[in-house]
Structure 1
Amino acid sequence: MMKRNNIFLLILLAIGVSSCKTPQATQVNSRTRLQLPTQYNGDTLTAKTTPTSWKMFFTDPQLTALIDSALANNQDLKITLQQIAVAKSGMIAAKGAMLPSLSVGAEVGVSKAGRYTSEGAGNASTEMTPGKLIPDPLMNYHPGFAFDWELDLFGKLKSSKKAAVERYLATLEGQNAVRASLISQVASNYYTLLALDNKLTLIRKYIDLQRQAEKIAEIQKEADSDTELAVEKFKAELAKARSQEFALKQEITECENALNLLLGRYPTPIQRDAKQLLNEDVKTIVTGLPSNLLSHRPDIRQAEHELAAAHWDVETARKAFLPSVNISATLGLEAFNPTYLTRMPKSLAYSVVGGLTAPLINRKAIEANFQQADAAQLQALYEYDKTLLTAYSEVCTLLSKNKNLAAYYALKEEEVKTLEHSVEVSRQLYMNGRATYLDVLEAERDALDAQMELLETRQQQLSCVVDLYRSLGE
């Protein structure tokens, strides 16, 4: 008896020695994480925050209808919803691991000991009741309950649960990021489509002008006021303009199909009003201090939850070095004949076992898991810092772009007006023989190029607004 006690004490001592020291994880806190500055490019902005809803940001009814359809049918968004369901199941499983398990079952077995063994010889000579030996083979019927519980004395299961919760929250923010990206893609494609429509209208007007110019050149050639070269030049310019028309038609088809893909449907004509492009109000973006990005941008919130999850993963891996305490118990009925199961309390069977286990031989594997979790935590930290840097740089760039595009658009409008007037002047001079056909063509080309650039600039302005919506968070 004394020898058994000594062995038990040695085992407890080994457990205590093996778990008395756990490795230290890399410290990740507010000091080690990257901090955002309080200014954008040196200018402190004291306004509140951006609009909190995309419906406050985009007011075109046709665009809002497209966005609603995309949010309901987009495949990427549906995939993200399933990822959330998977993360939620993981969180529920981690919570359930902290609770005891209770199961019910029934076992039926048979055993036969060899006749020339101690058990077989004993059974052969033992009577259950006077004149009735123990059955051979021996059946066993055992219905009952089983109870098992790992006591979370050192918080290992709690850390695992917290990691699962943070990952679930990260997937929610991931959904918000996908949602904001989807809205911005729909809006950007919509504005591109409007710009292409306006370019197509513009090139068709230009085609009509070239046809009229060709007719005038033909008349003047017949009146010996011009040469065949002028006619050929106008014909070439007309062919070039018509080829641009077909190129624009293809771009419109591709843009429509890309937009329909975002809406989760087969190619369908997109309802839109091309005039809305120039009528759309380019909003003045209201921004808050950079610290407000943390409460708006879903990708930053997602990175923050991923970092927190990585921290709890490290804690879970570190606490794997500590002992585990388990309690197991069974309670049921047991007999070699089913008719004896009701004979209480003789058929009653139970057991209670408490266990304390700690790793000894496999510590290297546990250390490797810990080092892996610690490295993953540092990776999550760098990902978080990168996300902050990207967010700040992106907003600074877009704010500058929004401001410069506004000035560029105003000057481009002035250029278009001047060139349109020069086209009228060149035509009058050509009709009066004071200018050549090259002067007219050059004036018309310059006006067309300027008008195209004006449309592209308005598209860039609206795309910049869309990007700012996405960058500042919803």
Structure 2
Amino acid sequence: MNRQSNASSCCSRVKPKQHLIASAIASAMLMVLSGCAIPQLCCPQPGPAMPGDFNGKSDAENSAQVGIDNFFNDPVLTQLIYEGLASNQELKIRNQEVQVARNEILARRGAYLPFVSVGARGGFDRTSRYTPLGAAEDQLTYPGGGRFPDPLGNVGLTANLFWQVDIWRQLRNARDSATNRYIEAVEARDYFVTRLVAEIAENYYELAALDKRLVFLDQTIGIQEQSLEVAKAQKEAARGTELGVQRFLAEVRKNQSQRLIVKQRIIEVENRINFLAGRYPQPVQRANWDFITLDSQILHVGVPAQLLQNRRDIRAAERELAASGLDVLVARADFYPRLDITAGVGFEAFNPRYLFDPGAFIANAAGDLVAPLINKKAIRAQYQSANARQLQAAYDYQRTVINAFTEVVNRMAKVENYRQSVQIKQGQVTALEESVNVATNLFQNARAEYVDVLLSQRDLLEARTALIETKQQQLSAIVNAYQALGGGYLLTSGGTTYADIRCLPPEMLPMMLPIGEETPVPVPADESLPVPPGDDALMPAPLDPATAPAPVAPPTPATPSVDMSLLPPATGPVMPTSFNQQRQPLIRLQTPPETTNPPQAFENSLRAPG
């Protein structure tokens, strides 16, 4: 008997060790089997190497480092841009997208930490006495000596813990991926800021060009009406025919019609600027066309590598590439075992008065090690999809870099070619002005036919219109080249950006960013970017772009101040009570008179003042 008891005690000591060894072997086999047959990743094809210059052009300076106040050198335009940055609804939507991405970081950050919850429960249960459980309960007594009531109550107060142990960094990689996408959302919003600045400036210069076209149309209509009176006088003196009168009258009517079309275009461009500024239609103040000096601005392209730092769309694509690589690691972790730990403590009793008795204390703890073994097609598909999205991000990054380089080359070439075209067209306009002067004098002295006058006046108007449009395209190319280099993000050359002012009320922007001054503004607390681990490996090496400002353009003549008073952002613009300050229809059918103005001197009506 003693030998049997000794043998049984030895077996009892050996069994736990055997169970431990068996559990370790089973866990190892589980890990090996679950990690088998992981699909191979596809690698992207390398993109072309970035050239060292822009088709032979490079500078030590870079115009992207020049603030919009110094670059445009136009107080009216700069205040319109500030108003757009304060009230543009699309920009406000982008800000909320940044907040959504920021909240995603908080959600991912809490996923790899233990979850602790507390709860209370209560209920009752009645079992049949003709069942083993009911018959057994009928014979039981609680520690106080009494029998359990029927039905049996159950009251509990517990604290529970759940923790998914992040063995393979799956949850932390998901957090880092969310961090990269948050920074991507910030960069995408900042890229929209540069596009908003460029679009407001483009429409502003188009508005000034349309004003100049209207001036030239008015001058041409005046000249043609003068010629019409001369043709009528020659007809009455039997020195001309009705044909000349009707041809001049038709030309006057054509230009009067064109004038209305230009006025309609002015209304549309004004309202486009108002829309970008986040307000209802209203008159837009602008500088005179003859005082715009943006074409004298010298653009410095720097070197192509600076695009990686200055272009916000490239930086956003870079963050998406880093996030997609982390998503692959997150999907790969699904092939490996997952360890979950659950635990709980609390009190449980059939009657609330025994709830906090020491004998009512309960506790539990458990660990689950689970791994996929059979039918892993869904996990394999998610892993391969993550790899495909990573390849998409890699090719999108390459495309974004090539597109940015191409934009700079195209727009810099457009600036130069349109500059030369403007010079040639100015000579053409000068020659046509002289031809109109000569033809008009000859016609008034009956030494030239009316056709010569008509053709010369028509050619002059077309040449002037082409000159204005070409110069407008030149200004648009300068604005777009500035944006293509990464310009428009810096509000001042001192380093103030949209991130520094986005939390300020709109009415404070003119005070915080006066023209010609650089007021430092503290960065809002919620705009700080959380940097994920290994950030140095994700970002390109910082460059040292030159910060010297471009040559200062001639001073802009004084213009009327722009009212920058706005309502708080939460309320939005107030809808007007009438359309264009009147309740009558805006469009009326009118019959133009035969003549509008008396004949006037040709020299004063044709040549622009100054």
Query: Under a length normalisation based on structure 1, what TM-score does the superposition of the two structures give?
Result: 0.94
Match 2:307 to one of 293, 299, 302: 293
Give the Cα–Cα distance (whole angstroms) in 2 for the partners of residues 411 and 333 of structure 1: 93
> Deviations 1:312-368 (Å, cap 9, x if unpaired)?
111100111111222211111111111112222x12111121222211234211101
Give the Cα–Cα distance (whole angstroms) in 2 for the partners of residues 45 and 19 of structure 1: 57
Quickly say closer, same or farther: Cα 1:35–1:110, change in 2 above 3 A: farther
Specify the code of the residue in structure 2 equivalent to 1:456: E
Does the CA-based 8 Å contact 1:23-1:318 persist in structure 2?
Answer: no
Corresponding residue number in structure 1 for 2:463: 450
Give the Cα–Cα distance (whole angstroms) in 1 for the partners of residues 120 and 375 of structure 2: 35
The runs of 5 or more residues in structure 1 that have no matched partner are none
Aligned: 1:161 with 2:178: no
Quickly say closer, same or farther: Cα 1:130–1:178, change in 2 above 3 A: closer
Match 2:233 to one of 208, 219, 228: 219
Bigger drift between 9-18 and 158-167 goes to 9-18
> Deviations 1:437-461 (Å, cap 9, x if unpaired)?
1111111111111111111111111
Alignment of 1:244-283 (within 5 A): 244-275=258-289, 278-283=292-297
- Aligned length in residues: 471
Give the Cα–Cα distance (whole angstroms) in 2 for the partners of residues 54 and 279 of structure 1: 14
Specify the code of the residue in structure 2 equivalent to 1:20: G
- How far did residue 48 of structure 1 move? 3.8
Corresponding residue number in structure 2 for 1:412: 425
Corresponding residue number in structure 2 for 1:57: 71
Report the secondary structure of 1:326's partner residue: strand
> Deviations 1:28-56 (Å, cap 9, x if unpaired)?
6xx83554211212344443452343233
Specify the code of the residue in structure 2 equivalent to 1:180: T
Give the Cα–Cα distance (whole angstroms) in 2 for the partners of residues 130 and 349 of structure 1: 18
Report the secondary structure of 2:341's partner residue: strand
> Deviations 1:369-414 (Å, cap 9, x if unpaired)?
0011111111111111111111111110111111111111111111
Bigger drift between 432-441 and 1-10 goes to 1-10
Corresponding residue number in structure 1 for 2:133: 119
Give the Cα–Cα distance (whole angstroms) in 1 for the partners of residues 464 and 291 of structure 2: 14
Does the CA-based 8 Å contact 2:43-2:391 persist in structure 1?
Answer: no
- How far did residue 143 of structure 1 move? 0.8
Corresponding residue number in structure 2 for 1:25: 41
Corresponding residue number in structure 1 for 2:598: none
Specify the code of the residue in structure 1 equivalent to 2:231: A
Aligned: 1:15 with 2:30: yes
Does the CA-based 8 Å contact 2:158-2:346 persist in structure 1?
Answer: yes
> Deviations 1:8-32 (Å, cap 9, x if unpaired)?
567525522233344443346xx83
Residue identity (%): 39
Corresponding residue number in structure 1 for 2:403: 390
Report the secondary structure of 2:46's partner residue: coil
- How far did residue 279 of structure 1 move? 4.4
Give the Cα–Cα distance (whole angstroms) in 1 for the partners of residues 233 and 398 of structure 2: 71
Match 1:134 to one of 135, 141, 148: 148
More helix by share: 1
Give the Cα–Cα distance (whole angstroms) in 1 for the partners of residues 348 and 390 of structure 2: 52
Corresponding residue number in structure 1 for 2:352: 338
Give the Cα–Cα distance (whole angstroms) in 2 for the partners of residues 40 and 182 of structure 1: 25
Does the CA-based 8 Å contact 2:209-2:289 persist in structure 1?
Answer: no
Report the secondary structure of 1:128's partner residue: coil
Quickly say closer, same or farther: Cα 1:282–1:34, change in 2 above 3 A: same
> Deviations 1:169-218 (Å, cap 9, x if unpaired)?
11111101111111111111111111111101110111111111111111
Corresponding residue number in structure 2 for 1:377: 390
The runs of 5 or more residues in structure 2 that have no matched partner are 1-11, 488-610
- How far did residue 274 of structure 1 move? 3.0
Does the CA-based 8 Å contact 1:173-1:298 persist in structure 2?
Answer: yes
Aligned: 1:435 with 2:448: yes
Quickly say closer, same or farther: Cα 1:187–1:35, change in 2 above 3 A: same
- How far did residue 131 of structure 1 move? 5.5
Corresponding residue number in structure 1 for 2:104: 90
Quickly say closer, same or farther: Cα 1:132–1:278, change in 2 above 3 A: closer
Does the CA-based 8 Å contact 1:194-1:276 persist in structure 2?
Answer: no
Does the CA-based 8 Å contact 1:260-1:266 persist in structure 2?
Answer: yes
Specify the code of the residue in structure 2 equivalent to 1:171: A
Give the Cα–Cα distance (whole angstroms) in 2 for the partners of residues 99 and 34 of structure 1: 43
Give the Cα–Cα distance (whole angstroms) in 1 for the partners of residues 304 and 163 of structure 2: 48
Does the CA-based 8 Å contact 2:309-2:315 persist in structure 1?
Answer: yes
Report the secondary structure of 1:356's partner residue: strand
- How far did residue 275 of structure 1 move? 3.0
Does the CA-based 8 Å contact 1:49-1:292 persist in structure 2?
Answer: no
Give the Cα–Cα distance (whole angstroms) in 1 for the partners of residues 387 and 266 of structure 2: 51
- How far did residue 57 of structure 1 move? 2.2
Give the Cα–Cα distance (whole angstroms) in 1 for the partners of residues 48 and 157 of structure 2: 60
Specify the code of the residue in structure 1 equivalent to 2:235: K
Give the Cα–Cα distance (whole angstroms) in 2 for the partners of residues 94 and 26 of structure 1: 27
Quickly say closer, same or farther: Cα 1:299–1:219, change in 2 above 3 A: same
Corresponding residue number in structure 2 for 1:42: 56
Superposition RMSD in Å = 2.1
Give the Cα–Cα distance (whole angstroms) in 1 for the partners of residues 145 and 450 of structure 2: 132
Does the CA-based 8 Å contact 1:307-1:377 persist in structure 2?
Answer: yes
Specify the code of the residue in structure 1 equivalent to 2:32: V
Does the CA-based 8 Å contact 2:442-2:448 persist in structure 1?
Answer: yes
Specify the code of the residue in structure 2 equivalent to 1:12: S
Give the Cα–Cα distance (whole angstroms) in 1 for the partners of residues 126 and 322 of structure 2: 57
Quickly say closer, same or farther: Cα 1:113–1:56, change in 2 above 3 A: farther
Give the Cα–Cα distance (whole angstroms) in 1 for the partners of residues 145 and 177 of structure 2: 65
Does the CA-based 8 Å contact 2:57-2:301 persist in structure 1?
Answer: no
